[in-house]
Amino acid sequence: MAKRSYTKTPMKEQAPEIRNQNFDEVALGYTLEEGQLEASRCLQCKNAPCITGCPVMIDIPGFIKAIEEGNMPLAYEILGRYTNLPAICGRVCPQEKQCEMVCRLGRSKKFEPVAIGKLERLVADWALEQPLEYKEVNSDKGRVAVIGSGPSGLTTAGDLAKLGYDVTVYEALHAPGGVLTYGIPEFRLPKRIVKQEIERIVAQGVKIETNVVVGKTITMDEIIDEFDACYLSVGAGAPRFQGIKGTSLNGVYSSSEYLTRVNLMHGYQFPEYDTPVQKSKNVVVIGGGNVAMDAARSAKRLGADKVSIVYRRSLEELPAREEEYHHSVEEGIEYHWLSNPIEYIDDGNGRLKAVKCVQMDEFIIEADTAIEAIGQGANKVLLDTFPELSLNKWGYIDADEETCATSIPGVFAGGDIVTGAATVILAMGAGKIAANEIDQYIQKTKQEQLWAEQGRKNIFNETVKVVEMQSEAGAAGTVHGSLKTGVLTTTYTASQGLLLMIPNMFKIAGELLPTVFHVAARAVSTNALSIFGDHIMDLSAVAHLASIEGRLPFMNFFDGFRTSHELQKIEVIDYDDLKAMMNWEALANFRRLGMNPNRPNVSGTAQNPDIHFQQRETVNRYYDEMPAIVQKYMNKINNLRGTNYDLTNYYGDPEATEVIIAMGSASPTIQQTVDYLNANGRKVGFLDIHLYRPFPAENLLEKLPDTVEKVAVLDRTKEPGSDGEPLLLDVQSVLYRHTNRPIVIGGRYGIASKDVTPDQIVAVFNHLLFPAAELKQRFTIGIIDDVTNLSLPMSEVLDLTPKSTFQAKFWGLGSDGTVGANKQAIKIIGNNTDYYAQAYFSYDSKKSGGLTNSHLRFGKEPILSTYNVEAADFVGCHNSAYIHQYDLLKGLKDGGTFLLNTVWDEEKVKQLLPNRLKRYLADHKINFYIINAMDIAQKTGLGGRINQVMSTAFFELTDIMDHETYLPLLKAEVDAAYGKKSRTIVERNWQAIDATVAKLKKIEIPAEWAEVEAKALFSGGDDTKPAYIRNILEPVNRQEGNQLSVNDLIENGMLGGVMPSGTAAYEKRGIALEVPEWIPEHVQCVMNAPLSVPMRQFGHFLLMMRKWQQLLKASLPVICAEKTA
């Protein structure tokens, strides 16, 4: 292999004395041979920093490798995945401050970085010479308007077109390109290049309309009505002046006007184009950015004898590209550093004569033209006609920098109109973000939004209109207003958001307006926030039908996290069947009562005490009649589906003496436990409540066996200070009228989605066997309350899942694809077998990179186990760091399967596996497999996404499907998920799937593993750590938080939810596969100055370092510093 060159391969350029006479491009480009030579310098880093240094995240090593191999089609295909404007990027992107700045080759100090920009230009220019093919584009995903055809807008348009959107770009000027066309001169970016790049975007199906001034020709309201989303990328081209004396003189230009005349209006081709551009002798440009360079170098080419740049800072602080400054000096541009203009001097006839400046003293520069290049302002035409759009304090659009979302739903913004004047590549980066966010916005996972966008009809053969508000309060108010006009309207929220809706809900109920609020119940924030759920009532159709007939609004509660993060195989009710159930007369009456100018009335008035009480009593009969109406619709669904819904359902022994009353997602678990206990000689039962308000008192009395002696009511909520939780108080009131007046006690369970398991329910039934005097009137289950002693003691873990049901548990890392892989698996199995399927996913509360647990079940029998997998047939660990942190194999059945994803080979695994795992594997005869999923993912171009590898391994190691069956189904799921994004992504995932089986390695369990001493996961604390760390943080991090008692929290300072600060110092998870190693002898200079700090402060730092050396009794590398002011 040839020795790697220390310097970049030079690119040929026009000589300064020649290029000063023309506007032709300065840099002449690489030949293929020169490009291959430069490409050979690339180190092909495994985790290339140049990729993250690029705002559009181009696979830089990938396209450079293709150049080195002479494969230009592949190089262009790689570039095209990330950028729609590669020929432009290769010319004007400041690579020296982005990708090239972090190039590992360049950071070695002996070498210059790879010339990434020049290589990008080489590939793009090659592509522009190839025939342009117009492709048939499927644009059925939605319509998007892009306002402005600069680099940001063109990027968004191109990316959205690739995703299948119908995109229209509106450009105010007569030619598209924005700043690319009117701002950057020909010698840096030829207009033919811009035109060709735009033609390629048009070839993808993008439509561009010029001479359209949004805000004048067409309004934003019209765009919002016509399109599903829009992107504002109008740039920041408004002129900006310093406002010094003489600014209005003839000969003083803004850079925007000057460069627009030169570029867009072809002033550089005068007299061929009749564009008046002043022929100047002496030109002064104020500013130091790329725009100032462009203006100065353009003036030189237009024939100026002398061109000067006045810049208020030093050369070291010059923001312009190094290449531009270097070229300007070659071309004879003069510089005045640390200087400011203070006056434009009049020649007596209203024309510019000279510019007065100040450095230390005042000085005069003769000039007949002055160009101010000090930045541009926002486009006021659009902003002034769209006042609903929020602006920041600088007058630019206030948009979220991570999503480009503005204050208006569906309106996104990016580029210079958000950031102020910046670089082309940063504008393109914003465009890519916007395209992705617009796609997500339009293709929301909210099913009703998706159906509305697709024009899907409801049972009335109408498309549902989806309105997104900024808060739950606004949503509830909009529901109220819409209902008042006779429009059926619904909404959804979680318990925390419901608090903001309550004022409007009182109005809706008082005015007898039918609606359903679907509420994902969760713990409302008290001492701390919990995102996890608390309740379920799963009869949405009944709620809607009953609400319309009974003229009362409903809240339809369903278990928050437990339901939203669980997948089940279900059947849905056909629309025709729902239409047959509808009370059309009641619906017509609701619509007749809607507020209408043709039927005027007044609502929402104030009432005095004389009639308000009576007014409130007028609604009584509606509440009295509602239980019967709900029962009627339950019966209709029962007849249709063969179900047994009732206001309350009794399950168990008809002569039960002990009964639990509850509602929600714990119901199947309680039913399992009732079957188990009755099969073992007990007489127990369960009353499941479906309608909570109006409370079904008569139905409850009718269903409860006359033999009942003791009742335990379970509430999934806590009301401190009350005599009991809500359901308990309701049941006690009703059972006061029961024939036998059974003893009624109440308990709390499952708060914040704490798992409810059969052993907890057994504890309740066992407690009901106690004599009346020994019963706890109030109790808790699932926790250890050693302070108020309300908790019931639990037995050993009891898993009542049928033995024939296959159970699997997976330990994953947030964003590694584990959850996605398991959702894919459950979908394949549920859709392609006669198995019942269930999956539940739990997460910790870390922002990213946290622990994920997936619990999967498959079987021939209905799955009633609404709790986590306790006895697994299969355990998958997708991060090898977890073997030291969690009790991974707890509950894994004898003869079960354990799959470990690890970078270690077989010998290393045997060496590093903890003894407790070795002993468990041996004692329980576990089938142990390993796979290096990270290696497969990286070699197939998937980075850290191991989902397809682990999904394939799961199917291969289980008997749910054979290889020939699952393989095409798995690949079809990949195609469905990624096919519209990129065929390359699909093929990479297919390659990973195909490579998996051969890489699975079974580890034979050595006989000596059965003899090793198995230490517990936690064998004692470090007394030097704070008590909170030892007693709370570490058990929680080991997934042992359920074993902590109430007193543990109090003793460790958590009364009221208070936590100490600085806990992150003790939470080192050790999950990285690669870590840097500092080798002192390889380091010659830790700190290379000058440092921009006062010398006195730097002296303090040196003193601290010397003390550190003394304390460590070790020598550190020399610290280099130069004294600076």
Taking each helix axis as running N to C, give the angle between helix 495-510 and helix 472-484, from 0 to 180 degrees, rounded to the nearest 10: 20
Q: For every residue of 457-501, which 3-state class applies, written as one string?
A: ECCCCCECCCCCCCCHHHHHHHHHHHHHCCCCCEEEEEHHHHHHH
Q: Which of 401-405, 695-699, 804-808 is least confident?
A: 401-405
Look at residue 1122 and tell me whether its pLDDT is greater than 60.
Answer: no
Alpha-carbon torsion, ordered 493, 495, 496, 500, to 10 deg:
70
16 within a domain of the structure (yes/no): yes
Q: Which tokens belong to 248?
A: 């209005």
DSSP 316: G
Q: What is d(CA 368, CA 281) in angstroms, rounded to the nearest whole number?
A: 7
Question: Is residue 1086 scored above 60 in pLDDT?
Answer: no
Residue 512 DSSP symbol:
T
Give the end-to-end CA distance of the chain in Å, rounded to a whole number. Answer: 48
11 vs 181, more confident: 11
Residue 969 pLDDT more than 90?
Answer: yes
Task: Label residue 502 by pLDDT band (50, 70, 90).
Answer: confident
Please state, in angstroms and rounded to a whole number, the distance separating the CA atoms of residues 901 and 876: 8
Sheet containing 892-901: which strands, arranged edge to edge?
A: 566-568, 836-843, 851-859, 806-813, 872-877, 892-901, 927-931, 1001-1003
Q: Which of 128-137, 261-270, 1054-1063 has the highest mean predicted lDDT (pLDDT)?
A: 1054-1063
- The burial class, CB within 10 Å (0-12 / 13-18 / 19+), for 524 is middle
Q: CA 268, CA 25: separation in Å to the nearest integer? A: 13
Q: Residue 79's pLDDT is what?
A: 92
Report CA 86 to chain centroid distance, whole Å.
27
My answer on whether 1039 and 903 are in the same domain is no
Residue 787, in any domain of the structure: no
Top-confidence residue, 279 or 986? 986
Q: CA nearest 497: which of 516, 470, 515, 478?
A: 470
d(Cα 1004, Cα 395) in Å, to the nearest integer?
Answer: 68
Give mean pLDDT, residues 1036-1053. 90
Residue 451 lies in a domain: no
The confidence band for 575, taking pLDDT boundaries of 50, 70 and 90, is confident
Query: If we measure between CA atoms, which residue out of 176, 180, 200 comes closest to residue 188?
Result: 180
pLDDT value of position 781: 96
Using pLDDT thresholds of 50, 70 and 90, give the confidence band for residue 345. Answer: very high
Q: How confident is the model at residue 538 (pLDDT cuts 50, 70, 90)?
A: very low
Among the candidates 715, 749, 781, a domain finishes at 781
Examine the domain organization and report whether 591 and 668 are in the same domain. Answer: no
Q: 231 with 123, same domain?
A: no
pLDDT average, residue stretch 695-714: 95
Do 563 and 666 belong to one domain?
no
Res 1097: pLDDT: 52
Interior angle at CA 980, CA 975 and CA 985, nearest 5: 60
Segment 653-677 mean pLDDT? 94
Please determine, for residue 1117, whether its predicted confidence score (pLDDT) is greater than 50: no
User: pLDDT at position 977, please?
Assistant: 78
Taking the CA of residue 562 as centre, how many other CA atoms within 13 Å lie in the half-sphere pointing to its CB? 27
Checking if the pLDDT of 1080 tops 80, the result is no
Q: Do 464 and 572 fall within a single domain? A: yes
As beta bridge partners, residue 369 has 283
Residue 475 lies in a domain: yes
Residue 307 lies in a domain: yes
pLDDT score, position 517: 87
55 and 189 both lie in a single domain: no
pLDDT at residue 669, as a whole number: 92
Domain CATH for 859: 3.40.920.10
Residues in the chain: 1125
- The band of 515, judged by pLDDT with boundaries at 50, 70 and 90, is very high
> What is the per-residue pLDDT for 11?
94
113 vs 985, residue with greater confidence: 113
Q: In this predicted structure, what is the pLDDT of residue 627?
A: 95
Question: What's the domain range around 263?
Answer: 238-375
3-state secondary structure 731-798: HHHHHCCCCCCCEEEEEECCHHHCCCCHHHHHHHHHHCCCCHHHCCCEEECCCECCCCCCECCCCCCC
Q: Name the pLDDT band for 1084 (thresholds 50, 70, 90).
A: very low
Residue 409 has pLDDT above 50, yes or no: yes
Count of structural domains, the chain: 7
Inter-residue long-range contacts of 132-139, CB under 8 Å, 24+ positions, other chains counted: 132/199, 132/200, 132/203, 133/203, 134/203, 135/203, 135/204, 135/205, 137/161, 137/164, 137/204, 137/205, 138/164, 139/164, 139/165, 139/166, 139/167, 139/205
Do residue 532 and residue 403 come from a single domain?
A: no
pLDDT, tens digit (0-9, with 9 covering 90-100), for 981-1033: 567 778 889 999 999 999 999 999 999 999 998 777 665 556 788 999 999 98
Beta-strand relationship, 490-494 and 743-748: unpaired
Convert the pLDDT of each residue in 309-321 to its tens digit.
999 999 999 999 8
Averaged over 162-189, what is the pLDDT? 89
Least confident of 188-202, 357-371, 1022-1036: 1022-1036
- What is the average per-residue pLDDT within 92-112? 88
- The confidence band for 525, taking pLDDT boundaries of 50, 70 and 90, is very low
For the ranges 726-730, 854-858, 1107-1111, which has the lowest average pLDDT?
1107-1111
State yes or no: pLDDT of 272 exceeds 70: no
Give the separation between CA 73 and CA 89, rounded to whole angstroms: 18
Domain assignment present for 627:
yes
CATH number at residue 587: 3.40.50.970
pLDDT for the residue 838 = 86
Contact 940, 992 (CB under 8 A): yes
Least confident of 516-530, 546-560, 568-582, 1070-1084: 516-530
Preceding peptide of 694 cis, ω within 30°:
yes
Which residues pair with residue 208 across a beta bridge? 169
User: What does pLDDT average to over the chain?
Assistant: 85
Beta bridge mates, 857: 807, 838
**What pLDDT is recorded for position 1057?**
81
- pTM for this one? 0.59
Determine the pLDDT at residue 1123: 37
CB neighbour class for 978 (10 Å; exposed up to 12, middle 13-18, buried from 19): middle
- The more confidently predicted of residues 977 and 567 is 977
Report yes or no on 224 lying in a domain: yes
Same domain, 825 and 749: no
pLDDT value at position 932? Answer: 96
**What's the pLDDT tens digit per position in 834-878?**
888 888 888 777 756 788 899 999 998 888 888 899 999 999 999
Judged against a pLDDT cut of 50, whether residue 1085 lies above it is answered with: no
Helix (H, G, I), strand (E, B) or coil at 852: strand
Strand 516-521 relative to strand 490-494, pairing: parallel
CATH number at residue 693: 3.40.50.920
Pick from 215-224, 503-512, 839-848: least confident: 839-848
Confidence of residue 784 (pLDDT cuts 50, 70, 90): very high
At 533 the pLDDT is 33
Measured CA to CA, the distance from residue 456 to residue 976 in angstroms comes to: 21
Residue 571 lies inside a defined structural domain of this protein? yes
pLDDT at 528 over 60: no
- Residues 850, 969 within the same domain: yes
What pLDDT, on a 0 to 100 scale, did the predictor assign at position 1019? Answer: 54
Q: What is the pLDDT of residue 75?
A: 93
- 70 sits in the region (left: phi over 0; alpha: psi -120 to 50; else beta) called left
Instruction: State whether 959 and 831 are in the same domain.
Output: yes
Question: 361 CB contacts (<8 Å, ≥6 apart)?
Answer: none
Please tell me what DSSP assigns to residue 27.
B
| pLDDT the model gives residue 689 | 94
Joined together, the tokens standing for residue 386 give 């769209």
Inter-residue contact 275 to 417 (CB < 8 Å):
no
Per-residue model confidence (pLDDT) at position 446: 47
Shared domain for 335 and 288, answered yes or no, is: yes
Give the domain-ending residue among 129, 154, 184: 129
- State mean pLDDT over 637-641: 86
Q: What is the DSSP string of 49-90?
A: HHHHTSTT---HHHHHHHHHTT-HHHHHHHHHHH-S-HHHHH
Closest CA to 141 of 197, 186, 94, 205: 205
Q: Specify the pLDDT at position 139.
A: 65
Encoded amino acid at 132, one letter: L
Asked if 1124 and 1095 touch (Cβ cutoff 8 Å), the reply is yes
pLDDT value, residue 1064: 85
Could you report the per-residue pLDDT of 909-962, keeping only the tens digit for each? 999 999 999 999 999 999 999 999 999 998 888 877 898 999 999 999 998 899
- Look at residue 1107 in the predicted model and tell me its pLDDT: 62
The whole-number average pLDDT for the span 451-461 is 76
From 882, 825, 887, select the one nearest 854 (Cα to Cα).
825
| pLDDT range class, residue 1119, cuts 50, 70, 90 | very low
CATH number at residue 156: 3.50.50.60
pLDDT band at 560 (very low <50, low <70, confident <90, very high): very low
Long-range contacts from 1012-1021, C-beta under 8 angstroms, 24+ separation: 1012/915, 1012/918, 1012/919, 1013/915, 1013/919, 1014/915, 1014/916, 1014/918, 1014/919, 1014/920, 1015/914, 1015/915, 1015/916, 1016/916, 1017/886, 1017/887, 1017/916
Q: Helix/strand/coil (H, E, C) string of 931-969?
A: ECHHHHHHHCCCCCCCHHHHHHHHHHHCCCCCHHHHHHH
- Domain shared by 985 and 864, yes or no: yes
- Which of 124-138, 651-665, 826-840 has maximum average pLDDT? 651-665
pLDDT value, residue 463: 81
Q: Could you tell me the CA-to-CA distances from 285 to 264, 292, 294, 816 in Å, in that order?
A: 20, 6, 10, 53
pLDDT at position 1109 is 63
**Section 151-156 average pLDDT:** 93
